[in-house]
């Protein structure tokens, strides 16, 4: 590797791994990231300016519970001298993070999002009925991508006539390979939502945006810039992660008729299936910046070192879970960090679980046996947030 390695990084901890384009990630990024368990739980990758890669359930858990070491501010890989576009509160550290987190938590509580379950069920059933009699569909493009985006738009009371654009914007954001492309995708999303945000100021409505406008921060009204940063985060989190978890999960289920038989015969086990999907097929990792010179689990790190923390694979740690690579409905406790841990644990986890559960329930009510279309391509992307772009399925009529 013809790359500069900082002097504090031991050479035995340096491995040539590119979290966007590594060969191990090309056909199956999920399995590719899990293959890193063959390497030390903390190693150094010399790409994108260099960064640590942290894996393993306990190591990831400790990192996520150490915001004093692993800062969420300036968490851009590669590091940038340009001002970062903010996403509040995910790009903040405590105690400031806590101030903004309390604004959104009540709006995404189990009680608040529970009212969306019936609407999710109607939407899922309508979508499936629309293609069920064709004997085939693209599961991602015709179903998994539409359910969470539509629910997000309803939560925010935004028009649903731009579903395709919303999905494309989300894809552009997560597949951006350069800082310029990332900023262009960010600006495209913000250009659309900022006008809707402004128009809700002073509204007495109950949608998410109007409710946020009625909040205060540090004893003052919330600002337009803060609203945009919060809503940008909600857009990114609400339109992509559930889609991809569903896509990767259904690809695996489509390849295993015995799992289909089990779920179809025992639909009461779908909540267990949801947790197993989250354990094996979560899609989000996180980036962090080392806040101070420190030694973390025996590894010396320097202030402003960057790190990719592999939350997505923590559930596949064989030291924590027996038969970790096997999808097992009767596993019992399913330990995973699909929603993170610590102060930044995903505020939308309750809604995500509802969406995945309802989608599986409504699917198996109507299509109990299915497979991947022969010779079909199933394109994916790696990166901090893994994606599955298309999943052609077929079934007998």
pLDDT, mean of residues 196-223: 91
pLDDT, mean of residues 57-81: 90
pLDDT, mean of residues 110-138: 95
Which is nearest to 229 in space by CA: 220, 241, 237? 237
- Which segment, 126-135, 230-239, 334-343, is predicted with the most confidence on average? 126-135
Query: 393 forms bridges with which residues in the sheet?
Result: 137, 372
pLDDT, mean of residues 152-165: 83
Which tens digit of pLDDT belongs to each residue from 12-33?
Answer: 999 999 999 999 998 899 999 9
Q: What is the pLDDT of residue 234?
A: 86
Which tens digit of pLDDT belongs to each residue from 334-351?
Answer: 899 999 999 999 999 999
- More confident position, 114 or 132: 132
* Per-residue tokens: 354: 């509802």
Ramachandran area for residue 74 (φ above 0: left; ψ -120 to 50: alpha; else beta): left
Of the given ranges (296-305, 340-349, 352-361), which has the lowest mean pLDDT?
Answer: 340-349
Query: Looking at the predicted structure, is the pLDDT value of residue 241 above 70?
Result: yes
pTM, 2 dp:
0.93
Q: Where are the domains of the chain?
A: 11-394
Which is nearest to 310 in space by CA: 68, 70, 12? 70
Cα dihedral sign for 337, 341, 347, 350?
positive
322 burial type by CB count under 10 A (0-12 exposed, 13-18 middle, 19+ buried): exposed
HSE toward the beta carbon, residue 185, CA cutoff 13 A: 20
Average pLDDT, the chain: 91
Q: How confident is the model at residue 3 (pLDDT cuts 50, 70, 90)?
A: low
Calpha distance 319→57 (Å, rounded): 8
Q: How confident is the model at residue 376 (pLDDT cuts 50, 70, 90)?
A: very high
Query: Looking at the predicted structure, is the pLDDT value of residue 84 above 80?
Result: no
Q: What is the pLDDT of residue 131?
A: 97
- More confident position, 373 or 181: 373
Q: Which stretches does DSSP call E strand in the chain?
A: 42-45, 51-54, 70-71, 136-138, 216-217, 220-221, 286-290, 294-296, 299-301, 306-309, 371-372, 380-381, 387-388, 392-394
Q: How confident is the model at residue 115 (pLDDT cuts 50, 70, 90)?
A: confident
So what CATH class is 11-394? mainly alpha
Q: Coil, strand or helix: which one is 207?
A: coil
Q: What is the pLDDT of residue 286?
A: 94
The DSSP 8-state label assigned to residue 208 in this structure reads: H
């Amino acid at each position: 590797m013809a790359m500069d390695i900082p002097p504090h990084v031991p050479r035995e901890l340096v491995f040539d791994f590119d979290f966007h384009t590594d060969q191990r990630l090309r056909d199956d990024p999920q399995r590719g990231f899990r293959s890193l368990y063959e390497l030390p739980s903390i190693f150094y990758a010399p790409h994108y300016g260099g960064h640590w890669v942290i894996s393993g359930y306990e190591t990831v858990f400790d990192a996520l519970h150490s915001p004093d070491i692993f800062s969420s501010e300036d968490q851009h890989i590669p590091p940038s001298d340009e001002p970062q576009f903010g996403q509040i509160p995910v790009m903040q550290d405590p105690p400031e993070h806590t101030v903004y987190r309390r604004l959104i938590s009540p709006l995404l509580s189990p009680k608040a999002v529970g009212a969306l379950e019936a609407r999710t069920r109607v939407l899922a059933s309508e979508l499936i009925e629309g293609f069920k009699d064709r004997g085939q569909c693209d599961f991602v493009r015709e179903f998994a991508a539409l359910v969470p985006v539509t629910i997000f738009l309803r939560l925010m009371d935004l028009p649903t006539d731009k579903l395709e654009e919303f999905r494309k914007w989300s894809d552009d954001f997560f597949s951006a390979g350069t800082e310029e492309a990332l900023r262009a995708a960010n600006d495209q999303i913000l250009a659309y939502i900022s006008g809707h945000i402004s128009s809700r100021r002073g509204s007495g409505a109950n949608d998410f945006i109007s409710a946020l406008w009625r909040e205060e921060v540090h004893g003052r009204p919330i600002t337009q810039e803060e609203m945009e940063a919060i809503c940008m985060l909600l857009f990114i989190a609400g339109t992509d992660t559930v889609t991809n978890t569903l896509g990767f999960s259904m690809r695996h289920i489509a390849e295993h008729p015995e799992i289909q038989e089990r779920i179809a015969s025992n639909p009461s086990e779908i909540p267990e299936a949801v947790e197993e999907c989250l354990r094996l097929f979560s899609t989000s990792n996180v980036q962090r910046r080392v806040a101070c010179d420190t030694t973390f689990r025996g590894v010396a790190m320097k202030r402003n070192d960057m790190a990719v923390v592999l939350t997505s694979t923590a559930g596949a740690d064989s030291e924590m879970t027996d038969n970790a690579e096997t999808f097992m409905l009767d596993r019992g406790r399913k330990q995973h960090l699909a929603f993170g841990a610590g102060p930044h644990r995903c505020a939308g986890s309750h809604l995500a679980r509802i969406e995945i559960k309802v989608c599986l329930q409504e699917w198996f009510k109507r299509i109990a046996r299915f497979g991947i279309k022969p010779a079909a391509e199933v394109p994916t992307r790696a990166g901090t947030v893994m994606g599955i772009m298309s999943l052609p399925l077929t079934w007998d009529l």
